[in-house]
Structure 1
Amino acid sequence: MNELQHDRWKQMSLGLARSFTDLTPARKKKLLAEVEGCIYWVVCNGLETVEDWDSCVRYGKGWHEHYESASSRVDTYLWDNRYEFERENRHGVEVVRGRFGDMLSACLRAGFDMAVAPSGGVVGFTVGQLRDAFDGAIPDWISDQFAENRRVLLTDGRNEGVWL
């Protein structure tokens, strides 16, 4: 990851976090802080250690060098901050996220996919939220990724779903 990709990741993820309209001011402030905190956690060993969502994030030197993916670092952050947790049910134990954890995860993943390297994508955002993330003017680095469907970003209604 380079500095431009990092800046774009933060810009988009924070913008998407701000686009949620059904949060209290305190909850929105917490979401914005957690987006920043998690991004810092992923890149804390240097931007050059991050390649894409599923590839390695390198840290350490020589015999102590360790690899894990950006997605694993995000999952660790969610777990350590209790946004992901175990829940017991009749089939055993499963790892789940609450609503806040889902919002946080979606903002981080969508921002990363659009700014750094596309992967599986994220559903659950609307064209209106994407426009709001950038104060109404979607930048070219986003719209260029919708080459075949660019008109969706410009002409479709606010509530139209968009795959980021």
Structure 2
Amino acid sequence: MNELQYEGWKELSIGLARSYKALTPQRRKKLLEEVENCIDWVVCNGLDTVEDWDSSVRRDGTLYYESAGTRVDDYLWQNRYEFERSSRSGEVELVRGRFGDMLSACVRAGFDMAVEPSAGVIGFTVGDLRDVFEGGIPDWIADRFGENKGALLAAGRDEGVWL
């Protein structure tokens, strides 16, 4: 990852966090802080330690750093946004609360647009995307949509978008 990708990741992820309207001011502030903290956690060892969401960074054939996705999962776990829950039958499952889902969606959507596309994130609208950038959609995002770029730019505010 380079500095330009890092800045785009942060800008988009924090902007998307602002799109959640039904939060108290305190909860919104916490989400904005946690999005930034999570991104900083992922890159704390340098931008060169991040390549894509799913692949670990390898040097000379050996593991150098875990993937960005694994580091985000670690952040969610260590900050208790993801946790284990036991069912009545005794089975244990990994769950994430609503706040953890919002945090994860913002961080991943920003990463997929700014750094390297992966499976993507649903749940945001074209209007949310435009709000991040004061009414427009920058080329570095629109270009990710390839032949569908025109449809993205012409879409209505409430149209869902897969980031």
Do the aligned residues in 1 keep the contact of 2:142 with 2:153 (CA within 8 Å)?
A: no
When normalised by structure 2's length, the TM-score is 0.91
Do the aligned residues in 1 keep the contact of 2:49 with 2:65 (CA within 8 Å)?
A: no
Counterparts of residues 90-105 of structure 1 (less than 5 Å)? 90=88, 92-105=91-104
Q: Which residue of 1 aligns with 2:68?
A: 70
Question: Larger deviation: 8-17 or 142-151?
Answer: 142-151
Counterparts of residues 14-163 of structure 1 (less than 5 Å)? 14-57=14-57, 66-90=64-88, 92-163=91-162
Q: Distance in 2 between matches of 1:17 and 1:46?
A: 24
Q: Which runs of 4+ in 1 moved over 6 A?
A: none
Question: Larger deviation: 65-74 or 1-10?
Answer: 65-74
Give the CA RMSD over aligned residues. Answer: 1.8
Do the aligned residues in 2 keep the contact of 1:86 with 1:94 (CA within 8 Å)?
A: yes
Q: Distance in 2 between matches of 1:93 and 1:26?
A: 32
Q: Distance in 1 between matches of 2:36 and 2:139?
A: 23
Letter in 2 for 1:75: D
Identity within the alignment, %: 71
Do the aligned residues in 1 keep the contact of 2:18 with 2:28 (CA within 8 Å)?
A: yes
1:113-159 deviations in whole A, cap 9, x for unaligned?
A: 10000111111111111111212111110111123222333332222
Q: Distance in 2 between matches of 1:67 and 1:147?
A: 31
Q: Distance in 1 between matches of 2:103 and 2:52?
A: 18
Where structure 1 has 5 or more consecutive residues not aligned to the other structure, the ranges are: none
When normalised by structure 1's length, the TM-score is 0.91
